[in-house]
Amino acid sequence: MVVLSIALQYYVHLKLNNDPGWKNIKKYSLSLATIQCLQWLMVAVYIVMFCYCFQVQCIVEIWTAEVVEYNVSYVYHSLFAYFDRDNVPLKGLAKFFKEYSDEEREHAIKYQRVLKKSMMI
């Protein structure tokens, strides 16, 4: 943070001395307290930027999990449809796969609700 503060001060110094557009700007001497406040403000900005990026990454991960849940539900439902036919033995497996398909679909719906709430913020 100190390096960033020094770099910013150097940049402003160069602009004030070399850029014609900055020639009429009055030079102020900033107190140490003001510099520390600016540093804390920069830290706060970085925290907000990190939280936003973190939120976006979380939304992407939740959406990915939702897609996976729907795909697994589809696979289980396909197996249910196969074992539910009249010419296939092991009828108990059809019920098993139907239950798992419904469960995975419920998980995907829960992810949808989480995404819906996160988008409203």
- Contact partners, residue 16, CB within 8 Å, separation at least 6: 22, 23, 25, 27
Q: Which helix (H) or strand (E) holds 92?
A: helix 91-120
Q: Which tens digits make up the pLDDT trace of 90-112?
A: 878 889 999 999 999 999 999 88
pLDDT attached to residue 120: 58
Q: List, for the chain, all residue ranges whose pLDDT scores fall below the cut of 50.
A: 121
> Is residue 69 exposed (0-12), middle (13-18) or buried (19+ Cβ within 10 Å)?
buried
Burial of 42 (0-12, 13-18, 19+ CB in 10 A): middle
